[in-house]
Amino acid sequence: MRYIIFFLFINFFFYGQNRIDIPVQLYKELNKNINLDEYIGSVYLFEKFNKANFYLGEEIEEIYANYNVYRNKFTFKQLDGSEYELNFEEGLKIEIKDKLFDFVKFKDEEIIGIELASNLKNKLYKVYKTIIIPPKPSSYGYDLPKPGKINIENFYYIIYNNNLYMLEDSKKSVLDLFPNYKSLIKKNKLKFKKEEDFINFFKLLNSK
């Protein structure tokens, strides 16, 4: 059985010897009690902490951060090594390794994602989720136990006509939500295996 665990939050870090001026209500110290020793893979999007830009209104700060997809939070560190998480705040932006993450609120949904396309109030975002496969214990001693797996996969959010649609990297996922576009999808040879296909489909939606 596969469990999809998806949260919409992020975290942060201090650069050099200067404390970043982030309002205290936006972050909290990271709880390290979660045990992931029985899993193969990482909950982090990037292999290591990377230099990032933090945008809050007109303020820009340079930090080192990583994206914990499992918790859907960016993590940052103080000079003493303690780690902190940045809570959701609409309007925040974090740029890391040429990826610009937006903090967007749509109705009751808090979205952290990369904007790929927009048309007035309609938006297309790329988001990340962790797919968790639990460890498998030994069956009466006849086989060895298997560790669990943590996979990070791409998903896409479309805000269209004041509705929110979550799409997987598959044509079936799109057709299930947009069955009336089957002929146009076929005509435009959209396979939905790469970002460009979702961008082109978003353009089709907005051409109607």
Q: What is the pLDDT of residue 15?
A: 33
CA–CA separation, 11 vs 28, rounded Å?
9
State the total domains in the chain. Answer: 2
Using a pLDDT cut of 70, give the percent of the chain over it. 80
CA dihedral of 69, 72, 76, 81, whole degrees rounded to 10: -70
Residues 156 and 174 in one domain: no
pLDDT 10s digits, 41-90: 888 999 988 888 888 887 888 888 899 888 888 888 766 777 788 887 78
How many Å apart are CA 93 and CA 104, to the nearest integer? 9
Q: Categorize the per-residue pLDDT at 179 as very low, low, confident or very high, splitting at 50, 70 and 90.
A: very high
pTM of the predicted structure, to 2 decimals: 0.76
Q: Quick one: 110 and 182 in the same domain?
A: no
Provide the pLDDT confidence category of residue 37 given band limits of 50, 70 and 90. low
Q: What is the widest separation between alpha-carbon atoms in the chain?
A: 62
Give residue 41's domain range: 3-164
Output the pLDDT for position 36: 55
Instruction: Note whether 48 and 88 are same-domain residues.
Output: yes
Are both 203 and 131 inside the same structural domain?
A: no
Identify whether residues 117 and 178 lie together within a single domain: no
Position 174 scores a pLDDT of 95
Q: Do 183 and 141 lie in a common domain?
A: no
The span from the CA of 107 to the CA of 176, in Å, is 23
Is residue 145 domain-shared with residue 177, that is, in the same domain? no
